[in-house]
Amino acid sequence: MLEYNLPRYLPSAEELPDSDETPVDNELQELIPGLLKAMLLILWSERMDWFFGVDMGIYYHPDEPPIVPDGFLSLGVERFYDEELRPSYVLWDENVLPTLVLEVVSPNYRKEYSDKLKEYEALGVLYYVIYSSRRRRKPRLEVHKLVNGKYELQSGNPVWLAEIGLGIGCERGNYCGVTREWLYWYDEAGNRYPTPAEQIKQAQLRAELAEQQVRQEAQRAQQEAQRAQKLAEQLRALGIDPDTLD
């Protein structure tokens, strides 16, 4: 349960702006978290205790503007707020902090490595993930974990997030027709989970293989029948009734 020194009467999510109304300045700020969310919708299709927000405001105080990460994951909350879905993420309604927040560094630097890191650290978010394709001499993916109230940079790619039960990492792939480096979810052994498009292709391939096996079995059965018929004709030519043979 979150505890804040808040006013007695608090606005609901419906009364607050959805976001900070600041447009993204790079398409990757929508596509990268969108891909992670799309993968979760398949990986956790049977679970109803998680929520992944994309460019959605996180309200921590009614008198302060929301924090708006490019993406965030909360565990232990209702997946669907109601049939209208969440307009924003209000901490005094949800009572659950996001477990992970994601910032995609755009051409216009937004203090992802300084001010935002301190904000998420002060808020108590367990994992803070920063991705920048523009970095050349430093890792493009940084995963910070909150340890004793301070963020510690985690090593590796992918990085295993034990509290979430998934790993996060980056590698080249294709999404929305664009081949480049993307962020993906991984299992504990470091194997990347397939994207929705890849799962569709895999399902189509399995269906094609199954259909091919059916055709091959039918062809073998037909060949066996033809051989049996030919043998019966040969026996009749020799004056032997094949029906009398065991």
Residues 150 and 109 in one domain: yes
The span from the CA of 81 to the CA of 15, in Å, is 15
CA distances for 122 relative to 14, 84, 92, 149, 240, angstroms: 26, 31, 17, 8, 95
Domain that holds residue 160: 27-193
49 within a domain of the structure (yes/no): yes
- Please classify residue 104 by burial: count the beta carbons closer than 10 Å to its beta carbon, then call 0-12 exposed, 13-18 middle and 19+ buried: buried
| Distance in angstroms (rounded) separating the CA atoms of residues 21 and 72 | 17
DSSP state of 16: S
Distance of CA 16 to the CA centre of its chain: 27
pLDDT above 70: residue 7: no
Count of structural domains within the chain:
2
Which of 193, 209, 232 is the C-terminal boundary of a domain?
A: 193
At 4 the three-state DSSP class reads: coil
Would residue 13 count as lying in a domain?
no
pLDDT (tens digit per residue) in 49-103: 999 999 999 999 888 899 999 999 999 999 987 777 888 999 999 999 999 999 9
Whether residue 18 is contained in a domain is answered as no
* One domain for residues 189 and 209: no
Tell me, yes or no, whether 8 lies in a domain.
no
User: pLDDT at residue 199 above 80?
Assistant: yes
The answer to which of 9-13, 20-24, 169-173, 202-206 has the lowest mean pLDDT is 20-24
> Is the pTM for the entire model greater than 0.85?
no
Kind and range of the H or E run holding 54: strand 50-54
Q: Are 229 and 121 found together in one domain?
A: no
